[in-house]
Structure 1
Amino acid sequence: MITKPTVDKIMEATDIVEVVGEFVQLKKRGANYVGLSPFVNEKTPSFTVSPAKGIFKDFSSGKGGSAVTFLMELEKFSYPEALKWLAKKYGIEVEETVDPTENLAEQNRRESLMIVSGYAAKFFHESLLDTDEGKSIGLSYFKERGFNNETIKKFELGYSPDQWEAFTGSALKQGYQEEFLVDSGLSVKRDNGNLYDRYRGRVMFPIHNFTGRVIAFGGRTLKTDKNVPKYVNSPESEIYHKSNVLYGLYFAKKAIRDEDNCYLVEGYADVLSVHQAGIENVVASSGTALTVEQVRLIGRLTKNITILYDGDPAGIKASLRGLDIILEEGLNVKVVLFPDGHDPDSYVQKFGTNAFKKHVDDNKKDFILFKTSILLKDAGNDPIRRAEIIRDVVESIAKIPDSIKASVFIRECSNILQIDERALMTELNKMRQAKARKESEKYKTPPPSELLDEPHFFDIPDTQGQPEKKLDSPQEKEIVRLLLLYGNKMIDWDGIANTYIGPFMVAELSDVEFEDPVCKKFMELYRQEVENGVLPEDHHFIHHEDKAIVDLVVTLIATKYTLSDNWYEMHKILITDEQANMKATILGAIFHLKKHMVGKILENLRQELQNTVSEADQDILLTQYIHMKKVEKTISDYLGSVILK
C-alpha cells in the first residue's frame, strides 16, 4: 500500500491539464480546457478539464474525476498503478507499506503480465548490449541499418539469444510464473509441459502502450532460411490487442500534438529511422490493416494524418479501400508516395532530414485525389472500369461526415474523372440515402399489428435477476454538493454563529439515514473527518480511492457551461446567487431532504393502515400518521409550500 505522505506529494505535483494532455488534444476555453472525449466517439467536444478544481468531466460518457481517475478509466490502471505512473512522471519516490499476506508483484493478472513483459524487454536489451552473441549479431544488424545508440536505448531494442530456453530459464530462475510467461506469448509450452522461448535468434522490437509500458514484441529473424518466418509477433493477450496499438505512439504523441499531424508508416524500421532523423510525429500499424481503434487513437491527438507509402503499386492498391475508415472518423488524410525502391526508412537514411521533409511537402496529395489518380491509371480507356472507379471514388467521398468538404472533393474529382459534377452529386446522394435507410432499419419498430401477434406481448416481464433500479436522490445529492462547496465556510447568520457549515449540517442531519448508497458513504466519510477535527474539501474526495465517491463528487461540482458576465452587464439578466442568502440555501436543503424522508414514512404508514385488520394496531398507526403529518406541516410552513394532500 502506498503511504499517505507519498499520495499527498503525488497529488500536489500533478498538473491535470498536463496529464490529460498526453492523451487528449486540449484547447483552452475560458478558465477550462476542452477536447474530444477519449471514451466515446464524438464530433463535438464535450470533454472538459478544470485546472482550478483539478478535475476532468466527460459529459458524453458521464465519466469524471482526478488525474488518477482519468488514468484508471482510460488505461484500466488500478488505483496504485495510476499513482505510480504519476510518481514516475513527476520524479517522486514511492514509499509503500508491505502487507505480508499480499504479493504485490501479483496484485492482479493484468499487472503480472505487464511485469513479466517489462522483465523480458530488459533481458533482451541487455542481451543485445552486454553479450558477445548480442553484440556480434543483433547490435551489428541495428548499426548496419543506421540506428544510433540513443535510438537503440530509447526504443529498448533487443536481441533474443539463439537458444531454446535462454529467456525462459532466466525468467523462471527470477521467480516469474510459467502461467504468465505462456499467456504473454514470451514462452511456448511443449507437449511434455516444458517451456521454450518463442523468439530465438531474433532482433527484438518492444511494443509500448500509450503510457510507455511494454506489452508485446515483434521479433525479426536475421537468417536467410525461407522456412523461417521473417517476423514473429506476440499473440493477443489481456494486455495486448494489436488492433488497439500503434508502434511508436508513446514516443510520438507529444510531437503529434505539437505538429498537429501524424505520419503513418508501415514498419518498425520506418518509425525508427524517421524518428531518429528528428521527425518524431511518426507511428506504424506494424504490417496489419489499419483499424478504427487505431484511427481513434490518432484522432485524440490530431485531425491530420499523412500516410507515407513506398513505391510498391500492388501494396498501395491493396490498402486504399481500408483507409476509408479514416475518412469516416472525420480526419483529414494526405498521402505521400516515395520513388520506386525507396520507403521512408531508406529515403531518410540516404537523403537526410531536410530532403525527406521537402519530398513530403512537395508530394503530399489529398487521399481522395490520390486514390482517383491511382485507379484511373489502371483503368486506361476501358469505360466499364472507369465507371467502377467513379463509383469507388464516390463511395469514399460518401464516408466523409463534413458535407462541405465532400462537395469540394466532388468538384475536384469531376475535373479529374471528366464527368459532370451533378452526376457525381446524384450518385453521392443515392449512397447517403441508402446508408441512412440501412441505419434506420436497425432501429425500425414493427407495426402494432405485428406486435399484437406476438404471444408474449402482454406477458408480465420477468425482472428476477435484473439489477435494481438506481435510486434517484436529488435531495441527498444537494446536501453532498453544499458540503463540498461550502462545508468549510464560517456561519454568520442571525441566531447562529461561531461554527462552520459542514459540522452544522452534519449535526442537523444526525437523525437522517441516507438511502443512496454512495451519498450514504460520502456522509459517513465526511462525518468521520469532522469528528477528527478536519473540514474536508472537495480535493479530499476527488482523490479518493473509491471510484463511486469520485464520480459523485465530480458530477456535482463540474459544470458544462459557465455564464458570461455579459448576461447582466449587457442584457440585465440577473441570475440568482445561492450564496447571497446562505442561511436559506443550507436550511432549505436540509428541510427539503427531511420533508422527502417524512413523505416516505407517511406513504409507508398509509400502506400499513390499508393492510392492517387489528383495531389496536390501526390506532397506533393512526397516531403515528397524525404525528408525522404535523411534522410535515411544520417543515412545509418553513419552506413556504402548501401541502395539497
Structure 2
Amino acid sequence: MPFPERLIEQIRQKVDLLELVGEVVALKRVGRNYAGLCPFHPEDTPSFFVHPERGIFKCFGCGKGGDAITFVMEYYRMSFPEAVRFLAERLGIPLPTEEAGQSQQKSRHELLFRALRVAAQFYQQMLEAPEGAVARAYVLQRGLQSETLQRFGIGYAPDAWDALVRHLQRQGFHEVVLEEGGLVVRSEQGRVYDRFRHRLVFPIHDPIGRVVGFGARRLREEEATPKYLNSPATPIYDKGRLLYGLYQAREALRTNGYAVLVEGYMDALTLHQAGITPVVATAGTALTVEQLRLLRRYCQQLFVVYDADRAGQQATMRALELALSEGFEVKIVLLPEGEDPDSFVRAQGGEAFRLRMRHAVPFLDFVVLHYQRQGMLESPSGQAQAVRHVVRLIAAVPDRLLHDFLIRHVAARFGLSESVLYEELANQQRGRRSETVAARQPAPVPSAQRVHPPPGTKAMELLPEEQQLFRILLMNPSLWSEMIQGEGVTLVSEQAQRLWDVLCQLRERHPEPLAALVSDMELQQSEVGQCLMELVFVAEAPSSRWSELLLETPEPDARQILQESLLRLRLRRVEEQLHQLRQQYGQLHSWEEQRQLLQQIQQLALQRQHLLNQLSGGS
C-alpha cells in the first residue's frame, strides 16, 4: 500500500538535509547555502548546493535536485518506498503496520541488506564464542583492541560448511537470497555452503554504514587457499566503488581535509587504532576512478602509503596518475623497505608514522626518486624516460595554473628549458584526449558569496524582473495574494508564461508551491521544474535591490521587491507598446488615424510616467 501523505510530509519536515548530505559530501557554507562537489557527476569546482532551511538541493552541473527523499533515491539507488523506509527508520518515525504478506513485496535490495546485516552480527557473535578462540588469539597477536573490533564489526566465520547457512535459514532467509548476496557458494550438486570458513571477517560498509560485503583472512597459514577472500560482485556490492573504512573515517576525513590511503584491512585498522583516523583502504582491488571520486567528496589531499616492496611501489605509481586526474593534491609517505603501514606502526608507534607523514614526498619528487633507485638517472635515455613520466603526471592535473609551477620545478631539477617541457606537455595532453579517460578541464572558481549557474540555463531565459518575481513567490508563498490584487501580473517572455501556468497548478496542490515541486520527481526533471529549482538557488543581481535578497528575505523586503518587480514588468510592457505605436505612426497617411494613434501614445506615456514615479518613490 502507498505511504500516507502525512508520513511523507513528516519525514520532509523532520529530516536534516544538511546532515544527511554532509555524510557523503564535504559541504562549506556559501552565503545561506552550503556548497560541495556533486556526488552525482565528476567535477573539480563545486556546483552542488544545499538549502538546509528549505530542505532542498540542486546541482548546477548535472541538473539533479530535489529533497531528502530524492537525494536518498539518487545517491543510494533506492526506490521511493526504500528511501521512505530508510529515512523513517533513521528519524525514528514509525511506519504503518504491514499487512500479511506485504513484507514479501519488499525489494530484493532490502532483503540483501538485511541478510548481510544478520550475517555480520552472526560473525561478531562467533568471534566471542568458544569456536572463535583461534581468531581471538590471532587478533590479539596483531594488537587489535576490543574497541577497534567493535567499531569495525570484525568477526569470525566458523570452521564449518554450513554454520551461516543454517543460521540465516532459521532467520527466514531463502538460500537464493544468500547466494545473490555472495554469502554462500552453490556446489556442482546444487547444494549451498558457506563462502567463508575458519576466517577472520571484515565487514565492508557503504557510506551510510550498511554492510554490503565482506573480506576474510585465512587463519590456517598452511592452507592452499588465498590469504584473503572477498565477496563477489552483487546487486549491492561493487568492490571498485567502495573503500574499506570510509564509513568509520568520514568525520575525520572532513575534519582533517585529507585521507591516508592504504592497501589492506589490517593497515587501516592499525592506523585507525593508533589515532590516525582519516584512513581508508582499497582492500582487494587496484585503486579505481570511482573510489577516488567517492573519496574526493570528503577531502582534497591524499597521502598514499602502500607497502614498501616492489609491488607496493608499482601500485603507488599507478595510483598517482588516477588521483592527480581527479584533482587530489598527492603526497607519498615513504616507509622502510619491506615494511607496510601495519607492521611499521606496530613496531614504532603512531607518532613515528605521523612524523613520516610530515615528511611525505610530493608526487614529482617521488617519481624522480623511483627512477633514481632503479639507477635510470645515470643515462640520458633514463633521464628522458623519467621526465616524460613526470610530464605525463603533470598533464593529468586538472588545474592548469599548477602546470606552470610544476614545469618550472622539473626544468630546474633536470636543467632543461621550460619550452621543451611545455612542448612535451602539449604532446601528453593530446595523447590523453585520445584515451578513454579524457582530460577534464577545470571549471571557473565560483565566487565565495554568490551562486552563478552556468550560462544557458533555462532560468537565464527569463527577464531579470521575472526571475525576481518567481523566486520571491517560491520562497515567500504568503505573498501570493500580491499577484491577484490590483492589476495582477504582467509577464513578457514565453518562458515566464509557461512557468506561471505550472506555478499556479502547484499552488492548487499545496499552499507552498516549492513543497509541491520537490514532491513531484517527474516535474523536477522536466525543463520547467529544473528552471524553478534553479531560481530557488540563484543569487545573481539583475537589479540594485536583488543583491539584498539572498535565500531568505524578511517578508517586508520581499514584498517591496515583489511590488517593484511587478511595476518593472508593467513598465516593460508599456514601453514595448509605445515602441510599436511609434513605429506605426510614421507609416500612417490619414490625419485622423494619426490623431487617434497619438492619443493612445499620450495615454501610454502617462502610464509610463506614473510607473516611473512609483518606482522612484513618488506619487
Q: Tell me whether the two structures share a fold, i.e. TM-score over 0.5.
A: yes
Question: Is residue 199–residue 219 contact of structure 1 (8 Å, CA) maintained in 2?
Answer: yes
Distance 1:314 1:284 in 2: 16
Q: Which of 554, 562, 568 is residue 579 of structure 1 equivalent to?
A: 562
Look up the match of 2:514: 538
* Distance verdict in 2 for CA 1:583–1:313, change over 3 Å: closer
| 1:150-161 equivalent positions in 2, closer than 5 A | 150-161=147-158
SS in 2 for 1:200: coil
Q: Which of 346, 361, 364 is residue 365 of structure 1 equivalent to?
A: 361
Moved more, 279-288 or 196-205: 279-288
Question: Is residue 334–residue 356 contact of structure 2 (8 Å, CA) maintained in 1?
Answer: no
Question: Is residue 261–residue 302 contact of structure 1 (8 Å, CA) maintained in 2?
Answer: yes
1:49 aligns with 2:50: yes
Shift of 1:260: 0.6
Question: Is residue 309–residue 339 contact of structure 2 (8 Å, CA) maintained in 1?
Answer: no
Q: Given residue 55 of structure 2, which amino acid in structure 1 is its aligned partner? A: G
| 1:276-295 equivalent positions in 2, closer than 5 A | 276-295=273-292
1:118 aligns with 2:117: yes
| 1:124-143 equivalent positions in 2, closer than 5 A | 124-129=123-128, 131-134=129-132, 136-143=133-140
Shift of 1:211: 1.0
Question: Is residue 414–residue 420 contact of structure 1 (8 Å, CA) maintained in 2?
Answer: yes
Look up the match of 1:74: 75
Distance 2:289 2:484 in 1: 62
Q: Which of 300, 303, 309 is residue 300 of structure 2 equivalent to?
A: 303
Look up the match of 1:339: 336
SS in 2 for 1:53: coil
Q: Given residue 372 of structure 2, which amino acid in structure 1 is its aligned partner? A: L
| 1:125-524 equivalent positions in 2, closer than 5 A | 125-129=124-128, 131-134=129-132, 136-362=133-359, 364-378=360-374, 379-435=376-432, 484=474, 487-489=477-479, 491=481
Question: Is residue 206–residue 214 contact of structure 1 (8 Å, CA) maintained in 2?
Answer: yes
Look up the match of 1:547: 521
Distance 1:139 1:3 in 2: 49
Distance 1:384 1:249 in 2: 42
Instruction: Report how many residues are paired.
Output: 528
| Superposed CA offset, 1:550-609 (max 9, x none) | 5566751443431459935999xxx99772079889999xxxxxxxxxxxxxxxxxxxxx
SS in 1 for 2:544: helix
Look up the match of 1:607: none
Shift of 1:167: 0.3
SS in 2 for 1:309: coil
Q: Given residue 547 of structure 1, which amino acid in structure 2 is its aligned partner? A: M
Alignment identity in percent?
A: 34
* Distance verdict in 2 for CA 1:278–1:99, change over 3 Å: same
Distance 1:490 1:28 in 2: 30
TM-score by length of structure 2 reads 0.76
| Superposed CA offset, 1:49-104 (max 9, x none) | 11232211111111111122112111112334334444555xx3231223426533
Distance 2:438 2:291 in 1: 29
* Distance verdict in 2 for CA 1:132–1:157, change over 3 Å: same
SS in 2 for 1:57: strand
Q: Given residue 548 of structure 1, which amino acid in structure 2 is its aligned partner? A: E
SS in 1 for 2:215: strand
TM-score by length of structure 1 reads 0.73
Distance 2:473 2:111 in 1: 41
Query: Any stretches of 5+ residues in structure 2 without a counterpart?
Result: 440-460, 490-496, 549-557, 572-603, 608-619
Question: Is residue 473–residue 480 contact of structure 2 (8 Å, CA) maintained in 1?
Answer: no
Distance 1:30 1:98 in 2: 43
Q: Given residue 562 of structure 1, which amino acid in structure 2 is its aligned partner? A: A
Look up the match of 2:587: none
Distance 1:224 1:313 in 2: 23
SS in 2 for 1:206: strand
Question: Is residue 473–residue 479 contact of structure 2 (8 Å, CA) maintained in 1?
Answer: no
* Distance verdict in 2 for CA 1:433–1:328, change over 3 Å: same
Distance 1:440 1:353 in 2: 38
Q: Given residue 344 of structure 2, which amino acid in structure 1 is its aligned partner? A: Y
* Distance verdict in 2 for CA 1:31–1:300, change over 3 Å: same
Query: Any stretches of 5+ residues in structure 1 without a counterpart?
Result: 443-472, 505-514, 530-534, 589-636, 641-645
Shift of 1:321: 3.0
Question: Is residue 37–residue 47 contact of structure 1 (8 Å, CA) maintained in 2?
Answer: yes
Look up the match of 2:586: none
Question: Is residue 480–residue 523 contact of structure 1 (8 Å, CA) maintained in 2?
Answer: no
Moved more, 336-345 or 551-560: 551-560
Distance 2:411 2:249 in 1: 37
| Superposed CA offset, 1:601-642 (max 9, x none) | xxxxxxxxxxxxxxxxxxxxxxxxxxxxxxxxxxxx9xx9xx
| Superposed CA offset, 1:329-360 (max 9, x none) | 12110001111342211222233332221221
* Distance verdict in 2 for CA 1:125–1:373, change over 3 Å: same
Question: Is residue 24–residue 36 contact of structure 1 (8 Å, CA) maintained in 2?
Answer: yes
The one of the two structures with greater contact order (alpha-carbon pairs below 8 A, sep at least 6) is: 2
Question: Is residue 230–residue 284 contact of structure 2 (8 Å, CA) maintained in 1?
Answer: no
Moved more, 221-230 or 552-561: 552-561
Distance 1:494 1:317 in 2: 70
Look up the match of 1:24: 25
SS in 2 for 1:579: helix
Question: Is residue 36–residue 300 contact of structure 1 (8 Å, CA) maintained in 2?
Answer: yes
* Distance verdict in 2 for CA 1:555–1:204, change over 3 Å: farther
* Distance verdict in 2 for CA 1:384–1:122, change over 3 Å: same
Shift of 1:413: 2.5
Shift of 1:306: 0.6
Look up the match of 2:37: 36
Look up the match of 2:591: none
Distance 2:83 2:547 in 1: 46
> What value does the CA root-mean-square deviation take over the aligned residues?
3.9
| Superposed CA offset, 1:280-333 (max 9, x none) | 100001142111111111111111101013321342034413420111112110
Q: Given residue 34 of structure 2, which amino acid in structure 1 is its aligned partner? A: Y
Question: Is residue 6–residue 95 contact of structure 1 (8 Å, CA) maintained in 2?
Answer: no
Question: Is residue 398–residue 428 contact of structure 1 (8 Å, CA) maintained in 2?
Answer: yes
Q: Given residue 299 of structure 2, which amino acid in structure 1 is its aligned partner? A: T
Q: Given residue 11 of structure 1, which amino acid in structure 2 is its aligned partner? A: R
| Superposed CA offset, 1:156-176 (max 9, x none) | 111111101000111112111
Question: Is residue 261–residue 302 contact of structure 2 (8 Å, CA) maintained in 1?
Answer: yes
Moved more, 392-401 or 73-82: 73-82
* Distance verdict in 2 for CA 1:493–1:558, change over 3 Å: closer
Shift of 1:495: 7.7
SS in 1 for 2:330: strand
1:104 aligns with 2:103: yes
Q: Given residue 61 of structure 2, which amino acid in structure 1 is its aligned partner? A: S
